[in-house]
Amino acid sequence: MSIKDEFQFIQKISPKELFHTNLRVGIGDDAAVLQTEENYEQVVCMDTMIEGIHFTKQTMRPFDIGYKSLAINISDMAAMGAIPKFYLVSIAIPTSWNETEILTIYEGMDAIAQRYKMDLIGGDTVSTKNDLVISVTVIGEVEKGKAVLRSQAKPGDIVFVTGTLGDSAAGLHLLLHKCSDFPHHDYKFLISRHQRPSPRVNVGRIVSQLGRASLNDVSDGLASELNEIAEASGMTIVIHKKFIPLSQSIKNFSDDVIYNWALTGGEDYELVGTISPIHFKELKKKCEKEGVPITEIGEVHPPQSDFVIIERDGRHEVLNKNGYNHFKKGD
């Protein structure tokens, strides 16, 4: 490991200020201590990013690696309707990474933590002979009984998605293939969508207050996330290709490529969910007030033989659970 003194390093990354008074013990002891509130439920999630699998030095700068490693966990909080509050970081560092680069990774995490008023409360720092590995745990809270689950879709619900889809996969393509002739504005937008996703915490919070709904964040691709909701709810979901929201920037590519990325590319970290038509009207109004695009893309039906169906030009096709899978050959 390129860091000479673990304890000096921990001092360098220790927060100078804290946002939450219910943190009783933070960095510096064997474990963090939180005082839980009576009317809230604690929500915990963890994600891992591995060099060579989720990023390389070609596709991500250290600041962006840190930013994204926390952002993807915040997105899980958003999908639960929760408020992110605390995070812990476990990092395994090879000799190919120097201390300045590692500190910059933490600066990236701190940048998005400041945006959501989150406190870093601990973690672990070790050396490794292989690639850089970052595991982030986020702790949040949601009002009792208000957590938004995948299993709450009902017949007649509207299927919706925030933002636009496929942009992250398009950005990764541009980074890997160095498309120098690509329009500059569109290039910057798509790269940003891959490197610095914007978790939809505000939308998750709105949904949590509206009543019964289901939510998932688009990490592994729309097809995968919809299948998870349909399976958990025991319902069939029908979506319409023509309603899938696309950015202007992604339209520089061919239709086949665009829709493949939109359905299976993943890492957009938008929210997809289902909600009753009455509550969707209210949700759309509140999202417009927040400046968040939201699109109706389909509807929930009673259970059929297939979980998810996509309508393309009047034809109905099964939309299988395709998306990023770490343990599938060829990925």
In three state form, how does the secondary structure of the chain look? CCCCCHHHHHHHHCCCCCCCCCEEECECECCCEECCCCCEEEEEEEEEEEECCCECCCCCCHHHHHHHHHHHHHHHHHHCCCEEEEEEEEEEECCCCCHHHHHHHHHHHHHHHHHHCCEEEEEEEEECCCCCEEEEEEEEEEECCCCCCHHHCCCCCEEEEECCCCHHHHHHHHHHHCCCCCCHHHHHHHHHHHHCCCCCHHHHHHHHCCCCEEEEECCCCHHHHHHHHHHHHCCEEEEEHHHCCCCCHHHHCCHHHHHHHHHHCCCCCCEEEEECHHHHHHHHHHHHHHCCCEEEEEEEECCCCCCEEEEECCEEEECCCCCCCCCCCCC
219 is in an annotated binding site: yes
54 is in an annotated binding site: yes
255 is in an annotated binding site: no
The confidence band for 145, taking pLDDT boundaries of 50, 70 and 90, is: confident
225 is in an annotated binding site: no
Residue 327, pLDDT > 70, answer no
Range with lowest mean pLDDT among 163-167, 177-181, 295-299 = 177-181
Domains of the chain: 6-143 (3.30.1330.10), 150-318 (3.90.650.10)
- Name the more confident of 7 and 94: 94
186 is in an annotated binding site: no
Structure confidence at residue 3 (pLDDT) = 60
Residue 323, pLDDT > 80, answer no
Structure confidence at residue 71 (pLDDT) = 98
76 is in an annotated binding site: yes
Model confidence pTM above 0.85: yes
Average pLDDT, the chain: 90
217 is in an annotated binding site: yes
Structure confidence at residue 33 (pLDDT) = 61
Residue 297, pLDDT > 70, answer yes
324 is in an annotated binding site: yes
150 is in an annotated binding site: yes
123 is in an annotated binding site: yes
Residue 317, pLDDT > 50, answer yes
Residue 90, pLDDT > 60, answer yes
